[in-house]
Structure 1
Amino acid sequence: MEHNKDQKDVLFLKSGEGRTYSCGTMTAIFKADENETGNKYSISEWWLEPNSKGPGAHQHEDNDEVFYGIEGKTSILVGEKWIDIEKGTFLRIPSKTIHDFENRTDHKSGVLNFFIPGGFERDMPSIVDWFKENPSK
């Protein structure tokens, strides 16, 4: 993961720019991460192909997550309830809360994700490898 900016630099990325990770039917594009934010947060776009599953139910012990709908409709599991996130919809998930996301529609969907504090991007190479080894996800 190459960084040529740090927390003192202005970040300006056009649509589609960033560090891209292919995760089966999902694509993550990291816009800013711990190196660039002093580990305060990470920001990424998550794009899901039509009728596709997400990462699987999980939780983060010490990190809140914010999701903001940017395209289509993404269904997000929060605890035991599924919530549909459409363009312009905001959702904050506190740490230690089980969550997942998927696209249940016939159209591509996307969410902007804020991971607080940062550091999630450290796991992306192993997540990409997992999806390569488990292509049915």
Structure 2
Amino acid sequence: MIKHTHSKSDPIFLKTGEGRTYQCGTMKAVFKADENETDDKYSISEWWLEPNSGGPGAHQHEDNDEIFYGIEGTTSIMVGDEWIDVEKGAFLRIPSKTIHDFANRTNEKCGVLNFFIPGGFEKNMPSIVNWFEENN
């Protein structure tokens, strides 16, 4: 069960690095707002990748759009069969039903801010963490 300290009617203020953190191999997710905090309208999270590391693997979301915004370094994001380098300040929208993946192909840590619309993705995080623990 995910512990939430805010309801959908509460303002949320988190300092740098704060949020619900999930370690997935060389990738770390920090969820800032989700589930009951947004009435399942969206989830917001940071995704951090260590240098020269892979992401979650190619996947798609049937009913969810994703927005990525570069916050540090360069994150390579696969959209369909094309890789796009998302640098700090760059914006990328991936519509639902689109195969995508992301990776860090550089020698520096990278990070993106992710908006998952509608929300609810964080419910998968405990099983995703377990998968990475068992397969890495």
CA distance in 2: counterparts of 1:82 and 1:9, whole angstroms: 38
- Measured after TM superposition, the shift of residue 34 of structure 1 is 1.5
Aligned length: 135
Question: Which residue does the alignment assign to 2:34?
Answer: 33
Question: Gapped runs of 5+ residues in structure 2?
Answer: none
Deviations 1:15-63 (A, max 9, x none): 0000000000000000000110010000000000000000000000000
Question: Which residue does the alignment assign to 1:60?
Answer: 61
CA distance in 2: counterparts of 1:28 and 1:73, whole angstroms: 17
- Root mean square deviation, CA, Å: 0.3
- Measured after TM superposition, the shift of residue 134 of structure 1 is 0.6
CA distance in 1: counterparts of 2:74 and 2:99, whole angstroms: 20
Deviations 1:95-134 (A, max 9, x none): 0000000000000000000000000000000000000001
Q: Give the ranges of 4+ consecutive aligned residues of structure 1 lying more than 6 Å apart after TM superposition.
A: none
- Measured after TM superposition, the shift of residue 4 of structure 1 is 1.5
Q: Does 1:13 align with 2:21?
A: no
Q: Does 1:114 align with 2:115?
A: yes
Give me the TM-score of the superposition, normalised by structure 1. Answer: 0.98
- Measured after TM superposition, the shift of residue 86 of structure 1 is 0.3
AA partner of residue 6 (structure 1): S
CA distance in 1: counterparts of 2:89 and 2:7, whole angstroms: 29
AA partner of residue 130 (structure 2): D
Question: Which residue does the alignment assign to 2:74?
Answer: 73
Question: Gapped runs of 5+ residues in structure 1?
Answer: none
- Among the aligned pairs, what percent are the same residue? 76
Question: Which residue does the alignment assign to 2:106?
Answer: 105
CA distance in 2: counterparts of 1:119 and 1:58, whole angstroms: 16
SS at match of 1:102: strand
CA distance in 1: counterparts of 2:89 and 2:83, whole angstroms: 17
